[in-house]
Structure 1
Amino acid sequence: MFVPLHDENTLKSIRFQWITLALIVVNIVVYFFETVRLDEVAIASFAIIPKELFDTSLLPIPVDATGPAYPEQLTLLTYMFFHGDILHLAGNMLFLWVFGDNVEDAMGHFRFLIFYLACGVFAGLVHAWIDPSSDVPLIGASGAVAGVIAAYLMLHPRVRVWVLALKAIPLRISAAFALGVWILIQVVMVFLPQMGPVAWWAHIGGLIAGAVLVLFLRRPGVPLFDRGLGYGS
């Protein structure tokens, strides 16, 4: 597994990745809020719980002392801004920072925001569809970030990326190799006995959404697979 540090890929259409930065800031602020103000029960109210998501008898949530009623489907958006711990948050935000700017550059600010949220929603739906009777809460931006990874791979597979291999060895390798290994791990893991809290099917859902949506949301004239850009080794 590779930990991304930096990609050699300058912005071409935008001056700065404002949406990428804003998403990271929002995730950090929400994590700080959940750690100091919310307990596990309160956090679960913002999480996707497949059993509740598909049980219309639970909609809407009754008004009580914890807050206003809202439809359970809203958790398809809220879940992606909450994280289980600081490492969960840091890993997602690192991938988003390294790869999100160039996807935002290829789409423009507004379309990138729509893309990110749509990937997260589809990732949550795939996770829930796979095990609709589950009552285990799902939180985290991993599905949305997986969409960013898929889009980046389709846009810039030849770009060189600095990564840490085995969390210690710095390497300069192609994005195709670094992200391809990450994607392969996600695919393999869904066929292994499920262990631990990782929602592998949410990652797969995000990857599918990202690979499809980048075809339609990239700016006119933005090529796929670095065609005609002449990246060297």
Structure 2
Amino acid sequence: MFPLKTSVFTSHVPVVTWLIIASNALIFFMEAGLPEESLERISYLFGVVPARFTDPDWAQEVGFPMNGYWPFLTSMFLHGGLLHIVGNMWTLAIFGRNVEDRLGSVNFIIFYLACGILSGIIHALVNPHSTLPAIGASGAIAGVMGAYLMMYPTSRVIVMIPIFIFPFFFDLLAVFYLGYWFLLNFVSGLATLNMTSDVGGIAFWAHVGGFLAGAILLPPFLLLHPKRSPCYPDEGCVEDVWGHRP
């Protein structure tokens, strides 16, 4: 299922969401002009390689810098291919505008980065011996999706499902679409726990960790930016859930 839009209106231009998308696009185009060897080196230096932090002897042996935890931040601005970045940035554009509109731009960037950092930490904790770099904004975006689910569970998400060459369009409640997305990643993450060797590809536990981080971090951010306009029906009036009314 490919999300196309949501039914929640925004009252402000999502400046930070667009800046994040522009920053990721700029870095990706800069990467595109580099040779393969340089791209691999960047991924290892600025991506989250769990063993770099859990096995200092190995990290020193292969030549990793021995100071700093910057990869937990820098990794969310790197992507491994065109489909990777397009999928991530599209999803951020769909859900990020509503979350930024509700939290405010300054709170949103702090929230976004916090979710991305926590998703990287969860990935490293679940895969402590992995020597493969994890890159991409999907953990931070998962946090945005978790916050969206908490705030707008009854909103509608318009999705497209390609069947052979024909696109079919449906609208689903956000709780069903995002709940299915989370469950799919959680089950897939469980399946990787029994694997004894490094497995590349999707960092499912970064997605799970980011999603949960977004849901858990949301309440204090809501208190920092009280809602001053009435709740629309699609929003589900989340302030009532957290014991706070505008």
Please report the TM-score for the alignment, with normalisation by the length of structure 1: 0.86
1:21–1:228 Cα change, 3 Å: closer
Matched, 1:215 2:212: no
Q: Deviations over 1:150-205 (max 9, x none)?
A: 00000011111211124731112221121111111011111214665111010011
CA distance in 1, matches of 2:214, 2:33: 33
Give the fraction of aligned pairs with identical amino acids, expressed as a percent: 36
Matched, 1:9 2:8: yes
| Equivalent in the alignment of 2:237 | 227
1:34–1:17 Cα change, 3 Å: same
| Equivalent in the alignment of 1:202 | 206
Shift of 1:94: 0.9
1:186–1:141 Cα change, 3 Å: same
The letter of the residue matching 1:197 is G
SS in 2 for 1:172: strand
Contact 2:156 2:172 in 1 (8 A): yes
| Equivalent in the alignment of 2:129 | 133
SS in 1 for 2:113: helix
CA distance in 1, matches of 2:184, 2:221: 27
Matched, 1:192 2:191: yes
| Equivalent in the alignment of 1:94 | 90
Gaps of 5+ in 2: 240-246
Contact 1:49 1:137 in 2 (8 A): yes
SS in 2 for 1:220: coil
CA distance in 2, matches of 1:50, 1:228: 36
CA distance in 1, matches of 2:63, 2:184: 41
Contact 1:8 1:161 in 2 (8 A): yes
Shift of 1:71: 3.4
| Equivalent in the alignment of 1:175 | 174
Q: Deviations over 1:58-92 (max 9, x none)?
A: 58x989xxxxx783400000001001111111111
SS in 1 for 2:70: helix
Per mean C-alpha deviation after superposition, the further-off stretch among 70-79 and 216-225 is 216-225
The letter of the residue matching 1:199 is A
**Count of aligned residue pairs for this structure pair:** 220
Shift of 1:221: 4.1
CA distance in 1, matches of 2:88, 2:2: 11
CA distance in 1, matches of 2:238, 2:191: 40
CA distance in 2, matches of 1:93, 1:228: 26
CA distance in 2, matches of 1:197, 1:139: 10
CA distance in 1, matches of 2:169, 2:54: 45
CA distance in 1, matches of 2:238, 2:132: 47
Contact 1:154 1:225 in 2 (8 A): no
The letter of the residue matching 1:114 is I
SS in 1 for 2:72: helix
Q: 5 Å matches for 1:29-178?
A: 29-37=26-34, 38-56=38-56, 71-166=67-162, 168-178=167-177
1:228–1:130 Cα change, 3 Å: closer
The letter of the residue matching 1:117 is L
